[in-house]
Amino acid sequence: MSQKFDVVVIGAGPGGYVAAIKAAQLGLKTACIEKYQDKEGKLALGGTCLNVGCIPSKALLDSSWKYYEAKKSFNVHGISTGEVAIDVPTMVGRKATIVKGLTGGVASLFKANGVTSLQGHGKLLAGKKVELTKVDGTVEIIEAEHVILASGSRPIDIPPAPVDQNVIVDSTGALEFQQVPKRLGVIGAGVIGLELGSVWARLGAQVTVLEALEKFLPAADEGVAKEALKTFTNQGLDVKLGARVTGSQVNGDEVEVTYTDANGEQKITFDRLIVAVGRRPVTTDLLAADSGVTLDERGYIYVDDYCATSVPGVYAIGDVVRGLMLAHKASEEGIMVVERIKGHKAQMNYNLVPSVIYTHPEIAWVGKTEQTLKGEGVEVNVGTFPFAASGRALAANDTGGFVKIIADAKTDRVLGVHVIGPSAAELVQQGAIAMEFGSSAEDLGMMVFSHPTLSEALHEAALAVNGGAIHIQNRKKR
């Protein structure tokens, strides 16, 4: 007799595992199918995020930043060190330990919440049945009242630079270098390319980023993107815009890359090349021909605003559906779907999903950019505050960047918060909370902020919206 569950989730990334835990918490009999195996061949939960994405990249970013600071800026504090050295295998090993702890943590949470963890490949059949192909090749059919598809995404590969995970790597391979490449090329100046490029640049690699678009970080606020490009260039990152990679030739331990820019065809040689040109949804062997679930024109599973697919009782969440490819977006969609399965009126505010780039300085934003709002014909007031005027940032010797708050000129409602600077990711979350509650710039300006904190920059930017900043000269007069 086949097993029957209230909810079967396919994929245990931050979308799927969070949905599974929530479903079990709400009293639904839940199973979660995952096939990913770690290097030891063991089932590893947590998806891209925990295994080869958010967490390992942040572990390497934090390690490399400590090295960079020790080497470049400890002397400012009067600290002298002997020669500062990096042992890359130890750094990469530390990352692996963190990943192992967290993926094991998800397994423990499954146990604690009563989620049945099933190892293998899941495929949706007609009639909300799921085919589970186990590691030994045996097949089991599972019945479900509700199915949540959370199969995530994988790196896009481009014919001009085929990944061999040795000289030409994708984001996963770039987390595993055992030594610092002397000359590192990165294709794509998106979030992943900039973060991984930063890791190795801080450790001494000479990094060149080749980006096909003429515009740097087109999704970010233009003021922020401009500041970011200036800062990264000062840090030694060579960002070539309008540079489209058209070919590559691996010669032993190096690769010659061909790209075209405004001056025609160019060639450049690297010791390692990271291909970071985006990610595509994973739907391979996920849906039986008669499952009834449809894809959109870009290959994502088609869903409505509530993540319902074209088949009643079947949902899809996270990177495999439209929208930003972010772990927190995936998790919140999972929660929304499960709440709705239980009959609760949950919905997600897609306008307030924060975006973060964990470079140094960090870049983070929530809501709309000034250029988008102007394009929509919305009249706005803008307040900015530079970290160079923040006592806390000065104390920390971390004064690059600014906070920018954009408010509706008529209602004063905050429409966008953009931060480039120290702890931008944490600061922007405060903006997101304020926006969720419909805050005006004046409301934010009237709040009491602890002193001295980086958060005060947010406070001052809010005050600056209406010409009331205290610690800088106001551009706008009251």
What is the x/- site pattern for ligand AMP, positions 274-313, by CB under 6 A? --xxx-----------------------------------
Identified binder of ligand AMP from the candidate list 158, 288, 308, 352, rule CB under 6 A: 158
Residue 192 in the binding site for ligand FAD (CB under 6 A)? yes
**Three-point CA angle 371, 226, 469, nearest 5°:** 75
Closest CB 244 distance from ligand AMP, rounded Å: 4
Closest CB 16 distance from ligand FAD, rounded Å: 5
Residue 54 in the binding site for ligand FAD (CB under 6 A)? yes
Residue 11 in the binding site for ligand AMP (CB under 6 A)? no
What is the x/- site pattern for ligand FAD, positions 283-302, by CB under 6 A? ---x----------------
In the block, residue with structure tokens 């003021």 = 223
Identified binder of ligand FAD from the candidate list 150, 257, 316, 419, rule CB under 6 A: 150
CA distance linking residue 434 with residue 440, whole number of Å: 8
Residue 337 in the binding site for ligand FAD (CB under 6 A)? no
Residue 53 contact partner, candidates ligand AMP, ligand FAD, none, CB within 5 to 8 A by sort of partner: ligand FAD
Residue 332 in the binding site for ligand FAD (CB under 6 A)? no
Residue 63 in the binding site for ligand FAD (CB under 6 A)? no
Considering only residues 188-207, where is the footprint of ligand AMP by CB under 6 A?
A: 188-192
Size of the residue set binding ligand AMP (CB under 6 A): 17
Closest CB 149 distance from ligand FAD, rounded Å: 8
Residue 465 in the binding site for ligand AMP (CB under 6 A)? no
Considering only residues 125-144, where is the footprint of ligand AMP by CB under 6 A?
A: none
Quick one: 133 or 266, whose CB is closer to ligand AMP? 266
Q: Tell me the three-class secondary structure of the chain, residue by residue.
A: CCCEEEEEEECCCCCHHHHHHHHHHCCCCEEEEECCECCCCCECCCHHHHHHCHHHHHHHHHHHHHHHHHHHCHHHHCCCCCCCCCCHHHHHHHHHHHHHHHHHHHHHHHHHHCCEEEECEEEECHHHEEEEECCCCCEEEEEEEEEEECCCEEECCCCCCCCCCCCEECHHHHCCCCCCCCEEEEECCCHHHHHHHHHHHHCCCEEEEEECCCCCCCCCCHHHHHHHHHHHHHCCCEEEECCEEEEEEEECCEEEEEEEECCEEEEEEECEEEECCCEEECCCCCECCCCCCCECCCCCECCCCCCECCCCCEEECHHHCCCCCCHHHHHHHHHHHHHHHCCCCCCCCHHHCCEEECCCCEEEEEECCHHHHHHCCCCEEEEEEEHHHCHHHHHCCCCCCEEEEEEECCCCEEEEEEEEECCHHHHHHHHHHHHHCCCEHHHHHHCCCCCCCCHHHHHHHHHHHCCCCCCCCCCCCC
Quick one: 70 or 158, whose CB is closer to ligand AMP? 158
Q: Do strands 362-367 and 414-421 pair parallel, antiparallel, or not at all (unpaired)?
A: antiparallel
What is the x/- site pattern for ligand FAD, positions 158-187, by CB under 6 A? -------------x----------------
Before 361, cis peptide (omega within 30)? yes
How distant is the alpha carbon of residue 255 from its chain centre? 28
Quick one: 10 or 255, whose CB is closer to ligand FAD? 10
Residue 247 in the binding site for ligand AMP (CB under 6 A)? no
Quick one: 198 or 455, whose CB is closer to ligand AMP? 198
Residue 211 contact partner, candidates ligand AMP, ligand FAD, none, CB within 5 to 8 A by sort of partner: ligand AMP
Residue 36 in the binding site for ligand FAD (CB under 6 A)? yes
- Active-site choice (418, 451, 459, 471): 451
Considering only residues 216-245, where is the footprint of ligand AMP by CB under 6 A?
A: 244-245
Q: Do strands 4-10 and 30-34 pair parallel, antiparallel, or not at all (unpaired)?
A: parallel
Quick one: 56 or 421, whose CB is closer to ligand FAD? 56
| Backbone angles phi and psi of 425, in degrees to 5 | -60, -40
Residue 170 in the binding site for ligand AMP (CB under 6 A)? no
Quick one: 131 or 339, whose CB is closer to ligand FAD? 131
Residue 55 in the binding site for ligand AMP (CB under 6 A)? no
Find the residue with minimal CB distance to ligand AMP. Answer: 190
Nearest one of 413, 449, 420, 457 to 434, comparing CA atoms: 413
Residue 33 in the binding site for ligand FAD (CB under 6 A)? yes
Any catalytic annotation for residue 451? yes
Residues forming the site for ligand AMP (CB under 6 A): 158, 160, 187-192, 210-213, 244-245, 276-278
Catalytic positions are: 451
Residues forming the site for ligand FAD (CB under 6 A): 10-16, 33-36, 47-49, 53-54, 57, 121-122, 150-153, 171, 192, 282, 286, 318-319, 325-328, 330, 358
